[in-house]
Amino acid sequence: MKDDHSEHLTTTEARGGTNQHMGRVVLFVGTGLVVVIFAVLFFVGSL
């Protein structure tokens, strides 16, 4: 059965208002924070 009431979204609506650049920033910031936290834990644990 074919759905005749399908929604057509604009590009902005489909992606939820975010773009690829913001996703990349979040990924790099999160990864950087994990590296910094592990480095701090490593140096504090070795004291």
DSSP per-residue codes, 1-46 = ---S------HHHHTTT--HHHHHHHHHHHHHHHHHHHHHHHHHHT
pLDDT of 1: 54
pLDDT of residue 10: 82
Could you give the C-alpha distances from 3 to 6, 7, 14, 25, in angstroms and in order?
6, 10, 19, 38
- Tens-digit pLDDT profile for residues 1-47: 566 677 888 877 777 766 678 888 999 999 999 999 999 999 998 87
Q: Taking the mean position of all CA atoms in its chain, how far away is CA 27?
A: 5
